[in-house]
Amino acid sequence: MNTASQGMLTHAWFVLAGLMLIFYVITDGFDLGVGILSLFQSERSRRDMMIQSIGHVWDANETWLVVVGGVMFGAFPAAYAEIMSSLYVPVMVLIASLIMRGAAIEFRHASHGGRLWDAVFGLGSLLAAGCQGVILGEIVTGLVPGVRETAFVVVTAIGVISGYVLLGATYLVKKTSGQLEASARRSSVTAVIVTALSAIVLSAGTRFASPIGAQRWAQPEVFNVLLALGIVAALAFAYVLYAVRVGSVRGPFRASVVLFLASFAGLAVSLFPDWIPGQLTIADSASSSATLTFMLFGIGMVLPIMVGYNLYQYYLFRGKVVPSQHH
């Protein structure tokens, strides 16, 4: 086996898996954010509009997670097995909350009362975001138990929840109008501030509570990249506030996406070359070259098509939501 080509294939799959994961985080992030925000809407007609805004896309968005699961299982079996079985409880609760969210969003259409399903939808979304935060926090702290580590995990959960609320709120700014849009603008401001505070605490925490801080961040070239990403994130943060204030329709969402991309890239750079810092490297967990090559043909080729029809779906249902006359 040629080790150089194996290394290239492994890196290619690290990038592809990361790309698919960021597709998931951003697209289902706003779905889950909309879900969390729906908990604070007491009026059924407004909740209808909120859920209508994600009605045709949430399923495909969630599917990115399933694709990432399959890709990890195939390309990095050892990492998939290690992360899933070490984090049994948060992964299972995440699955449960995604079931709650998905079932509720479909069944609320069929039911006429609705209050109960809406609560399930909102709580499922909140729980899913929280579990994803816990999983992220556990990975960054190297699956090590401890008080310091637990505190870190709590902050990642808050960070992911507020980040998703930010995506959801700015998405609603784009997709809704009237009072709903106004309240989404207010939520965007709160969410972006909580998200930024969490990011600052987490950056400080990573320096001290994660093996990443001592090893990766001490290297000057890594540090410089992270510094640049930090500046991009700070600019995006400022732009969210500015765009909300001047009444921009698409600006807040776009800036939030940039904020997420910068944070995600920072995370990927920090974790590299490990999946779990200090414990499991990307290279050691990879499948053989034969598998990585075959998967590159099978999945790498259809990825542009997947992105294509997803974009078509967004294009088709573009613009602001108008209330359905249906119920």
Partner 1 sequence: MLVEALHLARGQFAMTAIFHILWPILTISLSAFVLLLETLWTRTSDVAYYRHARFWSKLLVLNFAVGVVSGIPMEFQFGTNWGPFSRFTGGFVGNILGFEGAMAFMLEAGFIGIMMWGWGRVPKGVHLFATGMVAFGSSISAFWIMVANSWMQTPAGIVVENGRVVVTDYFKAIFNPDMIWAVGHMWFAALETGLVVIAGISAYNLLRRRNPEFFVRSFRLALIALVIVAPVQVWLGDSSGVDVFETQPAKGAAIEGHWHTNAPATGASWSLLAWPDQQKQDNDWSLEVPGMLSVLGTHSLHGRVTGLADIPRADQPPMVPLLYYAFRVMAGIGFAFMLLAFWTGFVMKRTRGRLDALLANRKLLLAWVLAIPLPYIAVECGWIVREVGRQPWVVYGLMRTEHAASNIAASAISATMLMFSVFYAVLLTSFFIFARRWLRKGPDLTLMPPVAPVRTTRAAHEPAGY
Burial grade of 201 (CB within 10 A; 0-12, 13-18, 19 or more): middle
In the bound state with partner 1, the residue whose beta carbon lies nearer, of 113 and 220, is 113
Distance CA 62, CA 68 (A): 10
**Structure token digits, residue 22:** 């960021």
In the bound state with partner 1, the residue whose beta carbon lies nearer, of 150 and 293, is 293
Question: Under the criterion CB under 8 A, does residue 62 sit at the interface with partner 1?
Answer: yes
**Structure token digits, residue 57:** 């896309």
In the bound state with partner 1, the residue whose beta carbon lies nearer, of 133 and 266, is 133
User: Rule CB under 8 A: which of 84-143 touch partner 1?
Assistant: 84-85, 88-89, 91-92, 95-96, 98-100, 102-103, 106-107, 109-111
In the bound state with partner 1, the residue whose beta carbon lies nearer, of 189 and 249, is 249
Proportion of the chain in helix, strand, coil states, percent, rounded to 5: 80, 0, 15
**Structure token digits, residue 268:** 């990927």
Place of tokens 């088709």: 316
The total number of residues shown for the chain amounts to: 327
Furthest CA-CA distance within the chain: 62
Question: Under the criterion CB under 8 A, does residue 326 sit at the interface with partner 1?
Answer: yes
User: Rule CB under 8 A: which of 142-201 touch partner 1?
Assistant: none
> Min. distance of Cβ 57 from partner 1 in angstroms?
6
Q: Which residues of 92-120 are buried (b: 16+ CB within 10 A; e: fewer)?
A: ebbeebbebbbebbeebeeeeebeebbeb
In the bound state with partner 1, the residue whose beta carbon lies nearer, of 45 and 111, is 111
Question: Under the criterion CB under 8 A, does residue 83 sit at the interface with partner 1?
Answer: yes
CB 30 within 8 A of CB 160: no
Among 76, 164, 171, 239, binds partner 1 (CB under 8 A): 76
Binding footprint of partner 1 on the chain (CB under 8 A): 52, 55-57, 59-60, 62-64, 66-67, 69-78, 80-85, 88-89, 91-92, 95-96, 98-100, 102-103, 106-107, 109-111, 287-288, 290-291, 294-295, 298-299, 302-303, 306, 309-310, 313, 316-326
